[in-house]
A and B are shown apart, each in its own frame.
Chain A
Amino acid sequence: MSGGDAAESPVLDVRGLGRRFGGLRALADVSFTVPRGRTLGIIGPNGAGKSTFINLVTGHLRPTSGRVFIDGRDMTGARPWSVARAGVARTFQIVKPFRGMTVRENVAIGLLYGPAGTGVMSHALSAADEVLEQVGLGPLGDRAPGELTVADARRLELAKALALRPRLLLLDEVMAGLQNRAIEPSLAVIRSLKEQGMTIVAVEHVMKAILAISDEVLVLHQGRVLTSGTPETVLADPEVIEAYLGHRYAKRQREVSPDA
């Protein structure tokens, strides 16, 4: 992203980030910054390197080249728990609830082990209730995660991330598999996070969601940055639409008004 103030280091700053899997180049030479309080949407077709990018930032994968700075601190190749304690939270594309624990206990883990980690179980559990309230899972704290609907399981994934009280939130397709009706409440949660000044990087396939929350959109293609800019300019870019989102999307865009 452009125009970071010199006074404050950006929350996320990646420089020349790349990752190879043997002969396959999953990501190459990705550089951008995300200033505090901004939301960056990342789009791109399957295999573009979106999830790889998130895994490189969170330490679930080690980059083969480039550097990652969180709040000006070099966190390249740090282990996932170090990154989490540095204030970075993420959701997983395939939800990863901890089975055998209640929904409340799932969220409490982040409060026990996160950056502001408490050692007192009762504090963590009551704070977990607040986080559940925030994402609209308030009444379901005693449920087993396996009993949740797809939409609620996605919200639990978000609640677990928020339990870390992060400064940077990485969302890996939190809207995937949701019906239109279920998307709106999740968007409301993300909007309220934005209002509170959260810095967000959202990987998403649901264009409606990307348009609604992103200050800027970055397009990945075959592991490289194709283009970036405001959502409107990027999505209007004929190269992006043709090469990438395909004819069908272009046609649908003409039919549906993009005011969502």
Chain B
Amino acid sequence: MGASSADVGTAAGVETPTARPPAEARWRRLLPWAAGVLVLLACFGLQTQLYTGQERTVTTIFMFVALAQAWNIIGGFTGYASFGQVVFFGLGGYTTATLMYHLQVNFWLALVVSGLVAAAFGALIGLPLLRLKGHYFAIATLGVAEGMREVVTNLPDITGGGAGITIPTVGAKASTPYLGNDGFYVLFLVLAALAVLVGGLVSRSKFGFALRAINQDEDAAGSMGINTTRAKVTAFALSGFLVGLVGASYAFQQVTIFPERLFDVDITVLMVVMVVIGGSGTVLGPLLGAVALQYLSEYLRQHYTEMHTFILGAIIIVAVILLPQGVVNYAREAARTRQFSLLRNVRRYRL
């Protein structure tokens, strides 16, 4: 390449022919959506083939697909690794539990309110925290989640404190009948589908381009006309909204919730690991990462009862060393450059 600059003088208004044939381009754009609908239908079909234990396992997989997809919006696209994302999970769960316990609010209304509360909280803490970068942002968000757990623990009149709070599911105080295994399977499947849909829409939108630009260089993004503050806070709130919905559903599924479980840092870590292994900043990556890791975790737990955490940890370490950019990003680069060597991949990322 180089100086193809003989005709640089020609000014505006040059019609450039489109490089790709539009029909093919349209098909390629529709393909992921079609695949998504098929997978969604397959998941409904799968439900009829599962017995109770399996159904609960798959439900948990759906939950983590939604969580990983939500984390990817702020951590993957925008590049702000939040280590306190569980704060939205806990906030959503406790909003639903307190609304249903104290005010007998219908679950579906409580679900929406929980999402909005989480989003509003995200915007509120995002304004100051998103001025921090890298490790500082990670530590600050971690601190917010830990702090929120203590706040919830120390408001026993509202939240039940450390003894937990139980959502009424039977009797006159039950505002919404318990959904049961089949109901929660569908609920978490819909949440996972919603999260993937949001991820896909963000990825292709003008907003998604802004987030990716911010991820690469915030000064440059600003000078291209992107309101970086607004884009970052919106991404954080959107991610929080999705996580809040999942937390609310989880609280209803568990019936009795405790601060330790709902603000458990492990949930955040799982989101991060799933996204990083699957492929940060992609739509497919968090989906694959969540399914693979949660399935693997369950498989190991059943077959290696005593060693499962150790084996899972070892697998994660090997995966991160071999594929530091995640499976999906590796596959894309390999397909483009025709270089499939994992060793070369490790060298390229200087690990």
Residues of A in contact with B (beta carbons under 8 Å apart): 58-60, 79-81, 83-85, 89-90, 92, 96-101, 105, 108-110, 112-115, 117, 119, 121, 126, 129-130, 133-136, 138-142, 148-149, 151-152, 160, 163-164, 181-182, 185, 188-189, 191-192, 196
Over the window 200-234 of chain B, the binary record of Cβ atoms lying under 8 Å from chain A Cβ atoms (1 yes, 0 no) is 00001110011011011101111111111100000
State the CA gap A140–B2 with chains docked (Å).
10
Q: Tell me if B16 and A129 are in contact (CB < 8 A).
A: yes
Contacts of B223 in A (CB 8 A): 58, 60, 80-81, 83-84, 89-90, 92
State the CA gap A138–B213 with chains docked (Å).
22
Main secondary structure, interface of B, reads loop
Chain B interface residue count, Cβ-Cβ cutoff 8 angstroms: 37
Q: What are 23 sample pairs from A and B whose C-beta atoms fall under 8 A apart?
A: A81-B226, A83-B223, A84-B225, A92-B219, A96-B220, A98-B220, A98-B221, A100-B212, A101-B213, A101-B216, A108-B209, A109-B210, A112-B209, A113-B210, A113-B224, A114-B225, A119-B206, A130-B14, A135-B8, A136-B5, A138-B4, A164-B224, A196-B11
Q: Tell me if A81 and B222 are in contact (CB < 8 A).
A: yes
State the CA gap A85–B14 with chains docked (Å).
24
Residue B314 is within 8 A (CB to CB) of chain A in the complex: no
Over the window 1-36 of chain B, the binary record of Cβ atoms lying under 8 Å from chain A Cβ atoms (1 yes, 0 no) is 111110011111110101100000000000000000
Residue B199 is within 8 A (CB to CB) of chain A in the complex: no
Q: Tell me if A109 and B3 are in contact (CB < 8 A).
A: no
CB distance from A53 to the nearest CB of B (A): 15
State the CA gap A171–B3 with chains docked (Å).
20
CB distance from A33 to the nearest CB of B (A): 22
Contacts of A101 in B (CB 8 A): 209, 212-213, 216
Q: Do A192 and B8 contact each other (CB < 8 Å), given the known contacts A100-B281, A129-B16, A142-B19?
A: yes
Q: Tell me if B8 and A81 are in contact (CB < 8 A).
A: no
Contacts of B226 in A (CB 8 A): 81, 109, 113
Q: Tell me if B9 and A192 are in contact (CB < 8 A).
A: yes
State the CA gap A160–B19 with chains docked (Å).
20
Q: Tell me if B225 and A164 are in contact (CB < 8 A).
A: yes
The residue on B at minimum CB distance from A192 is B9
Contacts of B16 in A (CB 8 A): 126, 129-130, 133, 138
CB distance from A72 to the nearest CB of B (A): 21
CB distance from B115 to the nearest CB of A (A): 26
Which of B3, B18, B212 is A181 in contact with, Cβ under 8 Å? B3
Contacts of B13 in A (CB 8 A): 130
Which of B1, B8, B18, B206 is A121 in contact with, Cβ under 8 Å? B206
Contacts of A58 in B (CB 8 A): 223
Contacts of A90 in B (CB 8 A): 223
CB distance from A150 to the nearest CB of B (A): 11
CB distance from A144 to the nearest CB of B (A): 9
Q: Do A149 and B227 contact each other (CB < 8 Å), given the known contacts A121-B204, A196-B11?
A: no
CB distance from A55 to the nearest CB of B (A): 9
The residue on B at minimum CB distance from A125 is B18
The residue on A at minimum CB distance from B12 is A130
CB distance from B296 to the nearest CB of A (A): 28
Q: Tell me if B8 and A96 are in contact (CB < 8 A).
A: no
State the CA gap A130–B205 with chains docked (Å).
21
The residue on A at minimum CB distance from B3 is A185
State the CA gap A182–B8 with chains docked (Å).
13
Over the window 150-187 of chain B, the binary record of Cβ atoms lying under 8 Å from chain A Cβ atoms (1 yes, 0 no) is 00000000000000000000000000000000000000
State the CA gap A105–B208 with chains docked (Å).
12
Contacts of A114 in B (CB 8 A): 224-225
CB distance from A188 to the nearest CB of B (A): 5
List 7 tightest A-B contacts by C-beta distance, closest first.
A80-B222, A185-B5, A136-B5, A113-B225, A96-B220, A84-B225, A129-B16
